[in-house]
Amino acid sequence: MSDTIKIGIAGLGTVGAGLIKIIQKNSKILAARSGKSIEIIAVSALSKSKDRGVDLSAYEWENDPINLAKRDDIDVFVELIGGEDGSAKQATEAAIKHGKHVVTANKAMLAMYGQELAISAESNNVNLRFEAAVAGGIPVIKALTESLAGNNITRIMGVMNGTCNYILTRMEDTGLPYEEIFEEANQLGFLEADPNLDVGGIDAAHKLVLLSSIAYGTQVDFEGAVLEGIGRISIEDIRAASEMGYRIKLLGVSTINKLGLSQTMRPCLVPASSPLAQLDGGTNMIIIEGDAVGQIVLRGAGAGEGPTASAVIADILDIARGINIPVFGQPANSLKKVPSINTTVENSFYLRLNLKDEAGILAKVSAALANAGISIDRIRQEVHETDAAPVIIVTHPTERDLLNKAIAEIEATSAAIDPPVVLRIETV
Ligand SMILES: NC(=O)c1ccc[n+]([C@@H]2O[C@H](COP(=O)([O-])OP(=O)(O)OC[C@H]3O[C@@H](n4cnc5c(N)ncnc54)[C@H](OP(=O)(O)O)[C@@H]3O)[C@@H](O)[C@H]2O)c1
């Protein structure tokens, strides 16, 4: 084996440029830790002339990332283009086929094609590493595949989208409505080109399904995840939650039992005293529970140039050290296919209903809940000046399916002016 590991980098945006800065700045540390010098051979992006704040003069340029992926003189192909298919996927496939290790930060591609790419990488005896794809600088993939490998993992929870956390915490701090804070986040450049990837919970769910696969030895199943974004959270919900001792977070929760795998990414109420509730701004947090370790909490920057590039370089160093772990912690062709289920546990729920201000309406709501076997823990009607009467109900623990039944009955009575806001109250 040579004492140099040669890499090609496709994508020179936030993460790609950050990676080059680390390799240029910390070259001696990297060589000392991995026993090999890390040499960038060639790079690829759309525009050759764009100033990226790094000196690229020592590297060859490839217009086509697929050609870069196939080069005989690289050992590792680093995919930092992004997007679930297109050039990123084609170049990744080409690299694997040509016997190159791959390091990627691309959660969208792995959430959709992780299973097939992992099988292909393992049959070609190359690494496919993706620490940077989940929660940026937080070493959660390594924690699950290595440090916690002896545990039966029982639950994973996390706040995995910094933009949503920024919007929710800013709404709470300023008392301003969702639309205004959404616009502020947009002006600050926090939102993806398609904002629904962030506020619709899609980006965070991409990350959750990758963690589930490692934790439970199951096939990556994005289609089975239940998603709900933060777009319907109002300032009234945030205030009501706060008055009851909770904060609202876009929370990913994944659990498994003999019936199947539950993966949900939804706004939830979490106790104000819990570590998740303390999370402000763009920070991410992942909570992992295992039968031996108990509960561990990982917290840090979930995105950004330095943190994400820090995770990418760690994967490159592991490859330089000769470490070869199956992509999802066990051979990809042994990952189980399990049914997706809504949830494995009972929870209390927060309901905000905008009811018609008429006699007997509240009785109809109570009857619908009672018919589904759901008992009410707390109920309150907000002061209102219009014909719509906002009512907040907190249920005792129940199954989501039963609650859905009750909501369908409430909607059938036309008691509610618009669909209710339903938020799970998560125990942490
Ligand atoms: N940014 C973060 O904080 C973060 C955190 C975690 C994970 N990630 C993931 O990291 C990956 C990269 O993200 P990023 O934020 O660095 O993206 P970015 O700033 O948009 O950079 C994308 C790069 O890919 C290049 N590119 C686009 N299409 C190409 C093609 N067909 N051939 C060659 N190059 C192409 C672009 O070239 P030009 O520069 O010439 O346009 C650009 O340099 C994504 O998968 C993302 O989800 C990012």
Residue 258 CB contacts under 8 Å (≥ 6 apart), including other chains: none
Q: Report the separation in Å between the CA atom of 82 and the middle of ligand 1, taken as the mean of its atom positions.
A: 5
Strand partners, 129: 103
Q: Report the separation in Å between the CA atom of 16 and the middle of ligand 1, taken as the mean of its atom positions.
A: 7
Please report, as a single letter, which amino acid is at residue 123: S
Is residue 304 within 6 Å of ligand 1 at its C-beta? yes
Query: What's the pLDDT at 63?
Result: 98
Is residue 16 within 6 Å of ligand 1 at its C-beta? yes
Average pLDDT over residues 285-302: 97
Q: Is the pLDDT of residue 292 over 90?
A: yes
Q: How many other C-beta atoms are found inside a 10 Å radius of the C-beta of residue 175?
A: 10
Q: Report the separation in Å between the CA atom of 310 and the middle of ligand 1, taken as the mean of its atom positions.
A: 16
Q: Report the separation in Å between the CA atom of 81 and the middle of ligand 1, taken as the mean of its atom positions.
A: 4
Q: What percent of the chain has pLDDT over 90?
A: 89
Average pLDDT over residues 118-128: 98
Average pLDDT over residues 171-187: 95
Q: What is the DSSP letter of 334?
A: G
Q: What angle do CA 98, 101, 107 make, to 5 degrees?
A: 110
Closest residue by CA, ligand 1 atom 5:
303
Query: What's the pLDDT at 221?
Result: 97
Query: What's the pLDDT at 428?
Result: 84
Q: Evaluate whether the domain defined by 4-133 bears CATH number 3.40.50.720.
A: yes
Is residue 81 within 6 Å of ligand 1 at its C-beta? yes
Query: What's the pLDDT at 357?
Result: 84
Average pLDDT over residues 240-264: 95
Return the structure tokens found at 183: 């616009």
| Pair 395, 424: CB distance under 8 Å | no
Closest residue by CA, ligand 1 atom 38:
46
CATH of domain 140-299: 3.30.360.10
Best probe residue, ligand 1, of 9, 12, 15 (max atoms within 8 Å of C-beta): 15
Q: Do the domains 4-133 and 348-425 sit in the same CATH topology, yes or no?
A: no
Q: Report the separation in Å between the CA atom of 144 and the middle of ligand 1, taken as the mean of its atom positions.
A: 26
Q: Where are the domains of the chain?
A: 4-133, 140-299, 348-425
Average pLDDT over residues 39-49: 98
Is residue 137 within 6 Å of ligand 1 at its C-beta? no
Least confident window among 68-72, 223-227, 239-243, 355-359 = 355-359
Burial 388-404 (b: 16+ CB within 10 A, else e): bbbbbbbbeebbbebbe
Looking at per-residue pLDDT, the higher value among 269 and 2 belongs to 269
Is residue 308 within 6 Å of ligand 1 at its C-beta? yes
Q: Is the pLDDT of residue 79 over 70?
A: yes
Q: Report the separation in Å between the CA atom of 103 and the middle of ligand 1, taken as the mean of its atom positions.
A: 14
Q: Report the separation in Å between the CA atom of 219 and the middle of ligand 1, taken as the mean of its atom positions.
A: 26
Closest residue by CA, ligand 1 atom 25:
11
Is residue 15 within 6 Å of ligand 1 at its C-beta? yes
Is residue 20 within 6 Å of ligand 1 at its C-beta? no
Is residue 160 within 6 Å of ligand 1 at its C-beta? no
Query: Using CA atoms, how far apart are residues 292 and 171, in angstroms rounded to an integer?
Result: 38
pLDDT band, very low/low/confident/very high, at 31 (cuts 50, 70, 90): very high
- The residues that are catalytic are 207
pLDDT band, very low/low/confident/very high, at 255 (cuts 50, 70, 90): very high
Is residue 95 within 6 Å of ligand 1 at its C-beta? no
Q: Is the pLDDT of residue 1 over 60?
A: no
Return the structure tokens found at 406: 């009750």
Of the CATH numbers 3.30.70.260, 3.40.640.10, 1.20.80.30, 2.30.40.10, which one belongs to the domain with range 348-425? Answer: 3.30.70.260
Q: Report the separation in Å between the CA atom of 317 and the middle of ligand 1, taken as the mean of its atom positions.
A: 21
pLDDT band, very low/low/confident/very high, at 318 (cuts 50, 70, 90): very high
Q: Could you tell me whether strands 283-290 and 294-301 are parallel, antiparallel, or unpaired per DSSP bridges?
A: antiparallel
pLDDT averaged over every residue in the chain:
95
Q: Which atom of ligand 1 is nearest to the CA of 83?
A: 45
User: How confident is the model over 390-410, as pLDDT tens digits?
Assistant: 899 999 999 988 999 999 999
Best probe residue, ligand 1, of 47, 67, 81, 310 (max atoms within 8 Å of C-beta): 81
Is residue 29 within 6 Å of ligand 1 at its C-beta? no
Return the structure tokens found at 37: 């010098």
Least confident window among 280-289, 308-317, 338-347 = 338-347
Query: Using CA atoms, how far apart are residues 95 and 84, in angstroms rounded to an integer?
Result: 16
Is residue 136 within 6 Å of ligand 1 at its C-beta? yes
pLDDT band, very low/low/confident/very high, at 383 (cuts 50, 70, 90): confident
Average pLDDT over residues 240-251: 95
